[in-house]
Structures are given as C-alpha cells and as structure tokens.
Amino acid sequence: MSSGSKGLEKVEVRLKWDPSPLGRPPHHLDIIAATYSADAPYGQPVYIVHFDSRSPDGTINMSRHSQTGQGFGYVEAMTLELDRLAPSFARVVVGVAIHQNTGPKFFGDLSNAGVLVVDGYTELMKDDFAQIAGSTAGTVAEFAKDTSGTWEFHEMVRGFDSEPAVFSAEMGSVPRL
C-alpha cells in the first residue's frame, strides 16, 4: 500500500497503553525501528532506533516517549522520514517490545494497548495486539522500496517471545512457516 504515486515520505508510528494497576510495577513498552540495506534486506540491521537513540542522519527519531503509559491517547511516537533515507536502504521494520524487568509481561496482559501508523492525516494501520496477545514483542509495520525506489507500507503484525535487545536483532528476519 502506498499513499499516492510518489510513495510514502514521512510517517509516524504511535503507541498507547494504560498504566499498570496501582501498586504494580509499571508497564514499559518501546517502539523500535530497524533499517536494512539493499544488499541484505533480511540480514542484520544497519542500525536500530529506540527510545534513547535516533538514526545517525536524523531521519528516524522518537518524538514522544513514555515509560509508564500515563497520558492521554498515544503516549509514544516515532517519526520516519523515508524520503530522506540514503538510497542504500531498502527496508525499515518497526516493532514494539515490552520491557521484562519485573517478570514476564505479554501484550494480552495490557489494557487499552494499540498502535497507529499514519502518513500525514491518512491512517495506514491501527491494531490492538490481540492477534499477538501471547507475545512479549512484535513487529507491526514494514516500509520497503518497490522496484522504482518508491517507499511502500506493508502491515506486518508478527509476535515474538524475546527481550527488547534480542528482538531488535531478529525482528526483520524472514518469517518462519
């Protein structure tokens, strides 16, 4: 799916979840983006962007971050300026990971969790993680160049059972059948 003939240029991934119940450790989720080169679109990421980093060229960064889910609506956001990425990139995969510092937490343990991907005012996808309720991390979107070099969006909701650091390395892999 693309937004017009010129393809995607600047998109935002937004994340929401309700805070944990009073007296319980906070739920801490993170949006993570991994970039892949045209030479190895399913290999190791060239770089990874998450809550305390940004891409070396400033094209992917967090504009909002929450460690608790407190706030109204979408409390975490990542902006991806696809049109400014170097031509050597062919793919960007975006996912969400739940920190596991206080014991196992799964998407199904969260209330009012959701992700929204937008291109300006156009909603590309909206998901509540129900299909990956038993996972601790999951991919949500793939942005890939087509044969003409135009960036396209592909919904890619896929669950993983790994901590954020491990998930970052495996999130762009070829799905196992």
Indicate whether 1 pLDDT > 70: no
The rounded mean pLDDT for the chain is 89
Task: Kindly give the residue spans of alpha helices, DSSP state H, lying in 40-172.
Answer: 164-170
Cα–Cα distance measured from residue 83 to residue 81, given in angstroms and rounded to the nearest whole number: 6
More confident residue, 25 or 129: 129
Cα–Cα distance measured from residue 169 to residue 12, given in angstroms and rounded to the nearest whole number: 22
Q: What is the mean pLDDT of residues 98-104?
A: 87
Q: Return the pLDDT at 175.
A: 67
How many residues appear in the chain?
177
* Global pTM exceeds 0.85: yes
CB 123 within 8 Å of CB 42: no
DSSP label of 174: P
Indicate whether 177 pLDDT > 80: no
Least confident interval from 50-54, 57-61, 126-130: 50-54
Q: Return the pLDDT at 54.
A: 79
β-pair partners for 115: 15, 127
Q: Return the pLDDT at 5.
A: 55
Name the percent of the chain lying above pLDDT 70: 93
Helix (H, G, I), strand (E, B) or coil at 118: strand
From the list 24, 20, 2, the residue with the least C-alpha distance to 119 is 2
Cα–Cα distance measured from residue 176 to residue 3, given in angstroms and rounded to the nearest whole number: 29
Q: What is the mean pLDDT of residues 4-15?
A: 86
Helix (H, G, I), strand (E, B) or coil at 156: strand
